[in-house]
Chains A and B, each alone.
Chain A
């Protein structure tokens, strides 16, 4: 193999006590790799035929094992950020199927699902962890998308609860979709291929990127940051997706903007407004802290480089 010399140069990285922090180039590599592969997988999915049995669509919604292997083998954050972008760029934008705001919703769902799954994996060599990650990805993604869909109907149809038969039918359709996705995308194209390919790729693909393989004994920052902060992020993102669908509830009374709208909408309106404010606040605090920290780190790096140079 032509790259054996490259691979041979790596072992000094493996010998170190802990995996070194990724530099910006390596983050970009993980991001681009995950983006490219999931994008290609989505193009392949577009080509695969689908069987329709009544309202049930027996098709592959995505090849789950590709992004799951990426988040399991590499840093979950950068891999999870890249994969849904690949879907948007390759399968939607280039194929002329870009749906604007809807893409943002899909991106948040898929990112959250993959990030959760990647954090659950500690050792990509273990098959059951990969299986768990595949199932979790599909479950989180489909749960969020079902929530958004139901919210859309609830908002888009006038007094949806009082229309006979509507809530049940929407829920049944969502439930069937969920079950089909879990079996086909989650198990057939998720658990089984991930279990087969994961241990083979582990330790082989990382050196090609100049990275140390993920090691169960060493925690990766941002991948094991306690469940607390992590759940916060989960709730936060799902709420953002929900609120995006709920906004029209607030502005529904655009034409009849009267002071008694609180009475009309009651506590629900206040709740939506308050949670929107809370989310904006939390988002601001988190992003400001993140920016400050990364700036501090970059400044420290620059200082180190400056000291070394003379």
Chain B
């Protein structure tokens, strides 16, 4: 019974990871030009740090939350985010109370948490719905090093192979090892066995990956990879697919207008901390 569940769980985790990486994404931001999405993110990630006005922050938070809903972020990521923020806030409050804080500490922490939450929501809305390869093209067009976009493409293709191989190596270790006689206090033997297996699995994995890397890189270099990455013509061909239309302009304009509205409302009705 235990063995059955164990096997299922490893398989389940693997599938779940692959699903997260390759599931078709969609929603509001997915159809936009990736450069515009990065611009949108930069606006909403930088603006919250300019103000201590809670009304403005709440407005920006609502904007980002709406974007997250519209870009169909999965419940798993959203749930993790919420739990993480609630726990973090609780711990900080607890620690502040321990060191003699009062209501002002709570308010200050609430403001800070709101800021961080807004920025995280913005990044979630922007990057969860965006195809990694589109994102890497956008970064390339913003003059990020060619290595970044290569890394994204390579990782996107190699991930399933690598995970499969890691799983095989770990399974091999488990097959050769004798089952544990007892779990030990609080299952410490299981923890130690898991950790040593993980570490030991990396030894063959490193050697195999080295071989595979050499093959890949030699194949790439034979076709002039480094040369093409540096040559302006190669860049032009790669980036020809990027095109911003007027919907993108409209989208950016609407975002800026919303941010302006937030600041206007915040100045008119400052909830706390008058300085905008």
> What is the predominant secondary structure among interface residues of chain B facing chain A?
helix
Contact with A along B11-29 (1 / 0, CB 8 A): 0010001001100000000
* Chain B residues within an 8 Å CB radius of A43: 17, 159, 163
User: Is there an interface contact between B198 and A157, defined as CB atoms closer than 8 Å?
Assistant: no
Task: Check A169 against B95 for contact (C-beta < 8 Å).
Answer: yes
Tell me whether A271 is interfacial, beta carbon within 8 Å. no
CB contacts (< 8 Å) of B99 on chain A: these are: 164-165, 168-169, 172
Q: Which residues of A contact B267 (CB under 8 A)?
A: 255
Give chain B interface residues in 145-172, CB to chain A under 8 Å: 147-148, 151-152, 154-156, 158-159, 162-163, 166
The interface centre, meaning the residue of B108, B156, B216 with most chain A CB atoms within 10 A of its CB, is B108
Task: State whether the Cβ of B4 lies closer than 8 Å to any Cβ in chain A.
Answer: no
Are B127 and A39 in contact, CB atoms less than 8 angstroms apart? no
Q: How far is the CA of A9 from the CA of B108 in the complex (A)?
A: 65
Please state if B21 and A89 are interface contacts (CB–CB under 8 Å).
no
Asked if B96 and A165 make an inter-chain contact with CB atoms under 8 angstroms apart, the answer reads yes
8 Å CB interface, B60-114 against A: 73-74, 77, 87, 91-92, 94-102, 104-105, 108-109, 111-112
Among B217-225, B240-248, B254-262, the stretch in contact with A: B217-225
Give Cα A221 to B126, complex, Å.
41
**B268 CB within 8 Å of chain A:** no
The answer to whether A90 and B207 have CB atoms under 8 Å apart is no
**CB-defined contacts of A28 to chain B, threshold 8 Å:** 217, 220-221, 225-226
Complex Cα gap A200–B74 (Å): 43
Which A residues are CB-close (under 8 A) to B116?
156
Within 8 A of B (CB), among A198-224: 200-201, 204-205, 208-210
Among B45-53, B176-184, B231-239, the one that faces the other chain is: B45-53
Q: Are B50 and A165 in contact (CB under 8 A)?
A: no
B213 touches A160 (CB 8 A): no
Query: How many residues of chain B get a CB closer than 8 Å to chain A's CBs?
Result: 80
Give every chain A residue within 8 A of B77 (Cβ-Cβ): 96-97
Q: How far is the CA of A164 from the CA of B107 in the complex (A)?
A: 11
Contact of A33 among B155, B210, B226 (CB under 8 A): B210
Cβ A36 vs Cβ B162 within 8 A: yes
The stretch of A98-106, A138-146, A273-281 that contacts the partner chain = A98-106
Number of A residues near B (Cβ < 8 Å) is: 75
Verify B95–A25 contact, CB threshold 8 A: no
Knowing A96-B74, A205-B210, the reply to whether A89 touches B151 (Cβ < 8 A) is yes
Shortest beta-carbon distance from B264 to chain A in Å: 11
Residues A165 and B97 in contact, CB atoms below 8 Å apart: yes
Residue A94 lies at the interface, judged by CB distance under 8 Å to chain B: yes
A299 within 8 A of B: no
- Complex Cα distance, B216 from A81, in Å, reads 19
How far is B263's CA from A35's CA once the two chains are assembled, in angstroms? 42
Query: Are A35 and B50 within 8 A (Cβ)?
Result: no
**A32 touching B127, Cβ below 8 Å:** no
Seen from chain B, the residues whose Cβ lies within 8 Å of a Cβ on chain A are 13, 17, 20-21, 41-42, 45, 49-52, 73-74, 77, 87, 91-92, 94-102, 104-105, 108-109, 111-112, 115-116, 119-120, 122-123, 126-128, 132, 135, 147-148, 151-152, 154-156, 158-159, 162-163, 166, 195, 198-199, 202-203, 205-207, 209-211, 213-214, 216-218, 220-221, 225-226, 263, 267, 273, 275-276
**In the A-B complex, the 7 residue pairs with the closest CB atoms:** A165-B101, A169-B95, A248-B49, A165-B99, A55-B91, A98-B127, A89-B155
